[in-house]
Amino acid sequence: MNKPVVSYQLQNQLGIIHIDNPPVNALSHPVRAGIMSALALAAKDTSLALLILCRGRTFIAGADITEFGKPPLEPHLPDVITAIESSPKPVVAALHGNALGGGLEVALAAHYRCSVATTKLGLPEVKLGLLPGAGGTQRLPRVVGVEAALDMMTSGTPISAHKARELGLVDEVLEGELESTATDYANRLIAEGAPVRATGAQRADAPDSADFYDQYRSKISRKSRGQIAPGFIIELAELATHTDIDEGQAVERERFIECRNSPQASAMQYVFFAERATGKLGDIPKDTPVLPVQSVAVIGAGTMGGGIAMCLANAGIPVTLVETQQEFLDRGMATIKKNYATSVKRGRFSQEQADAFLANFSGTTNYADIGDVDIVIEAVFENMDIKKEVFAKLDASCKPGCILATNTSYLNVDEIAATTNRPQQVIGAHFFSPANVMKLLEVVRTEKTSPEVVQTFMKLAKKIGKIPVAVGVCNGFVGNRMLKGYARQAQLLLLEGASPEQIDQAMQTWGMAMGPIAVGDLAGLDIGYRSRRDQGIESRSVKESALADTLVEMERLGQKSGAGYYRYDAQTRERQSDPEVASLIENIAAQLNVKRREINDSEIVERLVLALVNEGAAILKEGIAARPSDIDIVYLNGYGFPAWRGGPMYYADTLGLDIVIDKLNALKALTGDPCWEPSALILEISEASMTLGSLN
Ligand code: 3H9
């Protein structure tokens, strides 16, 4: 017989409800039913208080996401929550691991909450296109106040147990082993005669300032542009200040169902599972050995190398920075120290944590000193000759089992691997800048990289907090290869009649974190300029880069030089339109015989997004990405694609592949550009009446 996921036992005067539903104690139907049965047993026995405890690595991490979209089964979670709060005997929730979503809502319904210090508490539903739908929007403001509750619910970011204690969300932070300390705490409450304390019985305090909600709304509409759940969350938190809990929960339920049935929620839940799928590589058996990683060296202490080294050090891995000269090493270390000091100032880390991270660093200018490390990540200048030189030195100095990784955004990793005597140990690692902040990591497998090396690197990536996506070798891998076509359309649209402002605004309104022109200015126009020259492309010889070449030659490199496509205020960095650029575009269009016309926003969005879709499909067909959802994860985490649209491949399915094909053909007819030839994969899948998602 299966072990019950919820069990109940009376220990002296304390009734203990144990939940044991691995991996994360999600509130699946048997758990909800089990809690109800336990409450019914407790109502009839001699217990004086109840304690909810979870087994395994975490408290309840939320509703069971895999149940969304299936026919709902009673008891519904809000009913379970109401039953907990209505218990005539005090209920204590003991938190460890993650108390998230429905899990925190269970805890909020309990009358007392205790927690071990490492617990994370949060309502992350917004990240799934949802809002807390089991009383969270009504109880959290009642416990921590409207503003703190809104910050938690609209960001979805969990808080620490200590912060929760400060806010009154946790009554007691436990020191020691969970079960015994939580039992002691609950027995102490019994001894003190602690009463039932139903959060829902009071109202939340209204904020002091009259325009609080307007201000909060405008802040959130900027941050979570296009999403429906955050607006509802604000409405519901306000309701908690002036309605009874039942009335508030009834409205919450309506809004929750509206979100749950929305395309946004489907997209964001797809993203949740897509993110977890990237680590599962179909051609690499699960039991492939993972090589031990005790120490890592990073070659190059510049911005990229420093950022990568910080990720490693933060994960407790000793890291040796290697530079050509002591002066560069000192400069790199000084920047790293400054970054940690800023993080401490902003409250991201404590001083003790920062000190512990810094203790993981060492530095050298001598390759002989890294002979024993398990992995080397090279992060030198993006130039094939320089990288080959470094790899030759690494191959000679590092122990035979050492994995050699190259941080590159475009270069052919097969070619780099071929210069060594250990091509099976060579792998690409495309980190995104700033490397200590951006979560995406393209892990580039060469023809020869061994399964153990891939597995080991994917595992290391997770350990250092990255979302690793395995990709194959091609120019620009997945992300930058797709970006090329996207950025090219933006340039052509400029020449054809759209302004930088119109393009950026259209894409932002559609949901991109930033428009492509502003991104160019942020990244620096000189990078593309140098790369084109490296590839032997003459300045201004290509239509789609004529404008960018001209700007660089005018020393307009983007934000860093105060001007690019836009002008930037020296103090505030605020961007302003520049009439000089507008006339420059007109001149270049005239020189290149590009006919200018009025372009509407929907054409801008269509051309940019379909360029991503078509190239993404080509990438899939070539096997550079293993599955469509991997491409989506790259675009969401590296390029500011809106999560609520699921990613370019998912979006193509929501449009319908037949419509995608019609639109591509129409663009081909309009522009005569062969780039609009529908990708073979899209044609095949559409012909078979399937979706790209069916390849996941
Ligand atoms: C909600 O609660 C709505 C309510 O307000 C109202 C309802 C009426 N359900 O992430 P991991 C799986 S919405 C089902 O790799 P970690 C996950 O897919 C929910 N499955 O581990 C994976 O499966 P596999 C609000 C879930 O240690 C395995 O567990 N809650 C759920 O890196 C391990 O997960 C959230 O949004 C779930 N809720 O991180 C929290 N959660 O091994 C979502 C996980 O087959 N969860 N799985 O790939 C998380 O954020 C992380 O999983 C957590 C652990 C931080 C808990």
pLDDT of residue 223: 84
Residues 514 and 634 in one domain: no
In this structure, the answer to whether residues 380 and 458 fall within a common structural domain is yes
Query: What total of structural domains would you count in the chain?
Result: 4
In angstroms, what is the span from residue 609 Cα to ligand 1's centroid?
30
Question: Hey, what are 287's tokens?
Answer: 């039991």
Task: Tell me, in angstroms, the distance from the centre of ligand 1 to residue 567's CA.
Answer: 44
pLDDT score, position 3: 82
Confidence of residue 352 (pLDDT cuts 50, 70, 90): very high
**At 28, is the pLDDT very low, low, confident or very high (cuts 50, 70, 90)?**
very high
Give Cα separations from 17 to 85, 116, 195 (angstroms). 15, 18, 19
End position of a domain, from candidates 414, 437, 471: 471
* 533 to 195, 384, 526: CA distances (angstroms): 75, 14, 10
Q: Do 547 and 491 touch, CB atoms closer than 8 A?
A: yes
98 lines ligand 1 (CB under 6 A): yes
Ligand 1 centroid, distance to 656 Cα (angstroms): 29
Q: Determine, yes or no, domain membership for 288.
A: no
To 10 degrees, the CA torsion angle through 548, 550, 551, 557?
70
Residue 561 pLDDT exceeds 90: yes
Residues 459 and 484 in one domain: no
Decide whether any atom of ligand 1 lies within 6 Å of the 77 Cβ: yes
DSSP H helices, 156-193, are 161-167, 178-192
Q: What is the residue-wise DSSP string for 205-260? A: PPPSSTTHHHHHHHHHHHHTTT-SHHHHHHHHHHHTTTS-HHHHHHHHHHHHHHHH
Instruction: Kindly provide the b/e burial profile for residues 152-190, where b requires at least 16 CB atoms within 10 angstroms of the residue's own CB.
Output: bbbbbebbbbebbbebebbbbbbeeebbebbbebbbebb
Inform me whether the pLDDT recorded for 24 exceeds 90: yes
Same domain, yes or no: 111 and 214: yes
Identify the domain containing residue 665 by its residue range: 608-695
Average of per-residue pLDDT values in the chain: 96
Does residue 554 sit in the same domain as residue 612?
no
Residue 425 belongs to some domain of the structure: yes
Whole-number pLDDT of residue 2: 74
Closest ligand 1 atom to Cα of 273: 18
Residue 1 has pLDDT above 80, yes or no: no
Q: State whether 399 and 483 are in the same domain.
A: no
The whole-angstrom separation of Cα 289 and Cα 269 is 31
User: Residues 67, 74, 85, 105: which is the catalytic one?
Assistant: 105
pLDDT band at 210 (very low <50, low <70, confident <90, very high): confident
Mean pLDDT computed over 471-498: 97
Assigned domain for 278 exists: no
Which CATH number goes with the domain that contains 121? 3.90.226.10
> Which atom from ligand 1 is nearest to the alpha carbon of 57?
27
Q: Is the CB of 259 under 6 A from ligand 1?
A: no
What is this structure's pTM?
A: 0.94
Quote the ligand 1 centre to 96 CA distance (angstroms). Answer: 15
- DSSP for residue 438: -
| Domain end residue (candidates: 427, 447, 471) | 471
DSSP state of 357: H
Q: What is the pLDDT of residue 535?
A: 85
- Of 84, 81, 85, 332, the closest CA to residue 201 belongs to 85
What 3-state class would DSSP assign to 363?
A: strand
Pick from 471, 491, 524: which residue ends a domain? Answer: 471
Q: Pick the residue whose CA is nearest to atom 11 on ligand 1.
A: 276
Bigger pLDDT: 1 vs 234: 234
Measured between alpha carbons, how far is 630 from 658 in angstroms, rounded to an integer?
A: 23
Contact 80, 115 (CB under 8 A): no
Q: How far is the CA of 102 from the centre of ligand 1 (A)?
A: 11
Answer yes or no: is 184 within a domain. Answer: yes
Residue 661: inside a domain: yes
275 lines ligand 1 (CB under 6 A): no
Tell me, yes or no, if 323 is annotated catalytic.
no
Residues 589-612, mean pLDDT to the nearest whole number: 97
Ligand 1 centroid distance, CA of 407 (Å): 31
Ligand 1 contact, 62 CB (< 6 A)? yes
Residue with the smallest CA separation from ligand 1 atom 8 is 133
Helix (H, G, I), strand (E, B) or coil at 18: strand
Residue 244 has pLDDT above 70, yes or no: yes
Nearest CA to ligand 1 atom 27: 24
Do residues 314 and 247 both lie within one domain?
A: no
Tell me: pLDDT of 38 over 70: yes
pLDDT band of 506, cuts 50, 70, 90: very high
Pairwise CA distance, residues 687 & 442, whole Å: 31
Which tokens hold the place of 173? 């932070």
Q: What is the pLDDT of residues 604-649, one digit of tens each?
A: 999 999 999 999 999 999 999 999 999 999 999 999 999 999 999 9
500 and 564 both lie in a single domain: yes
Q: Which atom of ligand 1 is nearest to 76's Cα? A: 8
Residue 601, domain member (yes or no): no
Assign 348 a pLDDT band (cuts: 50, 70, 90): confident
Residue 687 lies in a domain: yes
Q: Cα separation of 422 and 563, whole Å? A: 46
Residue 193, ligand 1, Cβ within 6 A: no
Residue nearest to atom 18 of ligand 1 (CA): 273
Distance 106 CA to ligand 1 centre (A): 16
Is ligand 1 within 6 A of the CB of residue 17?
no
Measured CA to CA, the distance from residue 171 to residue 206 in angstroms comes to 23
Q: Which residue among 25, 32, 64, 65 has the greatest number of ligand 1 atoms within 8 angstroms of its CB, and so is best to mutate?
A: 65
DSSP state of 125: G
pLDDT at 85: 98
Same domain, residue pair 160 and 221: yes
Span 206-226, average pLDDT: 91
Beta carbon of 504 within 6 Å of any ligand 1 atom: no
Question: Directed axis angle between helix 146-155 and helix 229-239, to 10°?
Answer: 160
**Element spanning 666, H or E:** helix 657-671
Alpha helices in 434-578 (DSSP H): 451-463, 479-496, 500-510, 516-523, 525-534, 543-553
Do 485 and 464 fall within a single domain? no
Measured by CA distance, the residue closest to atom 39 of ligand 1 is 24
Catalytic, 105? Answer yes
Euclidean distance between CA atoms 254 and 474, whole angstroms: 48
User: Is residue 202's pLDDT more than 70?
Assistant: yes
Residue 73 resides in a domain: yes
> What is the Cα–Cα distance from 458 to 280, expressed in whole angstroms?
10
- Give the domain CATH number at 458: 3.40.50.720
Q: Is 23 in the pocket of ligand 1 (CB under 6 A)?
A: yes
Between the CA of 273 and the centroid of ligand 1 the distance, in Å, is: 9
**Cβ of 648 less than 6 Å from ligand 1:** no
Pocket test for ligand 1, best of 5, 19, 24 (most atoms within 8 A of CB): 24
Specify whether 549 is located in the same domain as 676.
no
Distance CA 143, CA 145 (A): 6
The whole-angstrom separation of Cα 110 and Cα 15 is 14
**Atom 56 in ligand 1: residue holding the nearest Cα:** 61
Give me the CATH number covering residue 576: 1.10.1040.50
Please report, for the domain that includes residue 642, its CATH number: 1.10.1040.10
Q: How are the residues of the chain apportioned to helix, strand and coil, as percentages rounded to the nearest 5? A: 55, 10, 35
Question: Is residue 190 predicted with pLDDT exceeding 70?
Answer: yes
CA of 265 to the centre of ligand 1 (A): 15
- Given the residues 74, 85, 125, 166, the one annotated as active site: 125
Q: 65 with 172, same domain?
A: yes
CA-closest candidate to residue 600, choices 488, 485, 510 = 510
